[in-house]
Amino acid sequence: MGIIRPLDEHLANQIAAGEVVERPASVLKELIENAVDAGASRIDVSAEEGGLALLRIADDGTGIEADDMLVAFQRHATSKIATGKDLFQIATLGFRGEALPSIAAVAKIKCVSSTDNSGLGRCVEIEGGALVANKEINAPKGTEMVVRDLFFNTPARLKYMKTIQTELGHLSDVVYRQALARPDIAFTFTHNGNLLLRTPGNGDLRQVVAAIYGTSSAKATIALQAEHPDYSLTGVTALPSETRANRGAVTVLVNGRYVRSQAVMQPLLQAYHTLLPLHRYPLAVLRLTMHPTLVDVNVHPAKLEVRFSKENELRSFVEQAVKEALGGRAHIPSGAATR
Ligand code: ADP
Ligand code: MG
């Protein structure tokens, strides 16, 4: 008799959670992305104890149909893609249908959602993969996700969590990048009752930069605007006088998705060339748009890495665009080292 059998769904979800849910910030990223995909104009985030005790994400997006509430927590269930062709032109942030079942497998999650303004909605609660409530409830249009006690049933994972301050740093990073990606969405972020970020949601990127990095840093940036048959670039990049000790203030967005990409980072730094002192980096937000077939986002479960099909063209486009923006405005700061 054979000994191979498929994993039961609960176990499969726990294993997937190991990849999708590394720490509180990974939960937050998935839930903010869902709110963005739902067309929210407002996303309110609050966290307690670095997100390990609680994460709450409320949006005013489309909401989830009552009949879909449990389906949304099933593995590989998604409303975002349907055919293999869709996979090569992904226009949403999510598409794997893995986040909700993975989070529900390793935390206590409550989802309250309504698709209309009737004042009525649905509430589903799942703890460690087990359904504990499914009922009608009063709710405004949109979705609220509350995640408590992350990793309560996976002590080995919990043990690896860093200090609250470190986890908070990762949470802030997620909120900041998403706020920079979508200046048209009003974000708030509260930790242990302290308001850490509020963006106006009026579409003005500089105001988001000011809310995150401060008004004077925002003033020391210049606008980017460049076109190419395959790409377009908007955003801001810092005057060479406004430099940082690391690359953390460079945000690269590809079709609205925050990514880490050497293919964009390197030409950005190249464009500054000798204008930046050694080991100093600019503050920059590069918003690239391109046809979805030119970028493969299906490379990594957290979707932080992407592959470009015409990488060399992209590199020279970015370098040229940043150089032109800097042209004339740039000066060599005193004490600058050449490299
Ligand atoms: P994916 O985002 O890859 O589709 P998820 O597990 O993150 O997978 O979510 C499953 C489905 O639940 C989504 O496809 C979407 O239909 C629905 N959903 C999740 N969060 C929200 C939300 N905030 N607003 C509306 N629908 C949502
Ligand atoms: Mg998702």
pLDDT digits (tens, 9 = 90+) for 189-225: 999 999 999 999 999 999 999 999 999 999 999 999 9
Using the mean position of ligand 1's atoms as its centre, give its distance from the Cα of residue 51 in Å. Answer: 20
Per-residue pLDDT, 328: 59
pLDDT class of 332 with cuts at 50, 70, 90:
very low
Give the tokens for residue 17.
Answer: 């959670």
- For range 110-128, the mean pLDDT: 97
Residues 21 and 152: their CA atoms lie apart, in Å, by: 13
- Phi, psi at residue 189, to the nearest 5°? -140, 120
Q: 105 phi and psi, to 5 degrees? A: -75, -25
For residue 93, the 8-state DSSP code is S
The pLDDT value recorded for residue 90 is 76
Rounded-to-integer distance, Cα 151 and Cα 294, Å: 37
Residues sharing a CB contact under 8 Å with residue 15, sequence separation 6 or more, in sequence order: 7
Of all protein residues, the one whose alpha carbon is nearest to atom 21 of ligand 1 is 34
pLDDT digits (tens, 9 = 90+) for 131-175: 999 999 999 999 999 999 999 999 988 988 889 999 999 999 999
CA–CA separation, 173 and 171 (whole Å) = 5
Which range, 48-52, 90-94, 334-338, is most confident? 48-52
CA distance linking residue 147 with residue 206, whole number of Å: 32
For residue 296, what are its two tokens? Answer: 């493969």
Asked if the model's pLDDT at residue 100 lies above 80, the reply is: yes
Ligand 1 atom 20 nearest Cα = 34
What's the mean pLDDT in 23-40? Answer: 97
* Cα(186)–Cα(178) distance, integer angstroms: 11
143 vs 66: CA distance, rounded Å: 12
User: What stretch of H or E contains 316?
Assistant: helix 311-326
pLDDT at 300: 67
Q: What is the mean pLDDT of residues 316-333?
A: 80
DSSP 8-class letter at 297: -
Indicate whether 105 pLDDT > 50: yes
| Predicted confidence (pLDDT) at residue 331 exceeds the cutoff of 60 | no
For residue 302, what pLDDT band results from cuts at 50, 70 and 90?
A: low
pLDDT at position 326 is 93
Rounded to an integer, what distance in angstroms lies between the CA atom of residue 259 and that of residue 265? 10
Contact 203, 292 (CB under 8 A): no
Contact indicator for 285, 253 with CB cutoff of 8 Å: yes
Please state, rounded to an integer, the average pLDDT across all residues of the chain. 92
Would you say residue 61 has pLDDT above 80? Answer: yes
Name the residue at shortest CA distance from atom 12 of ligand 1: 72
Check: CB of residue 270 under 8 Å from CB of residue 319: yes
- The answer to whether residue 336 scores a pLDDT higher than 80 is no
Q: Which atom of ligand 1 is the closest one to the Cα of 33?
A: 2
Q: Determine if ligand 1 sits within 6 Å of the CB of residue 298.
A: no
DSSP string over 23-72: SHHHHHHHHHHHHHHTT-SEEEEEEEGGGTSEEEEEE-S----GGGTTGG
Complex-level ipTM: 0.99
pLDDT value at residue 337: 42
Query: Which pLDDT score, from 0 to 100, does residue 162 have?
Result: 85
Q: Whose structure tokens read 């990048």?
A: 177
pTM of the model: 0.92
* pLDDT for 94: 85
Atom in ligand 1 nearest the alpha carbon of residue 142: 24
Is the pLDDT score of 32 beyond 50?
yes
299 and 307 Cβ atoms separated by less than 8 Å:
yes
Is residue 279's pLDDT more than 60?
yes
Inter-residue contact 239 to 327 (CB < 8 Å): no
Per-residue pLDDT at 299 exceeds 70: no
- Determine which residue's CA is closest to atom 23 belonging to ligand 1: 35
How far apart (Å, rounded) are the C-alpha atoms in residues 177 and 22?
A: 18
Exposure on the CB side of residue 324, measured as CA atoms within 13 A: 12
**Measured distance CA(286)–CA(266) in Å, rounded:** 13
121 lines ligand 1 (CB under 6 A): no
* Confidence at residue 301, expressed as pLDDT on a 0 to 100 scale: 59
Residue 306 token pair: 């992407």
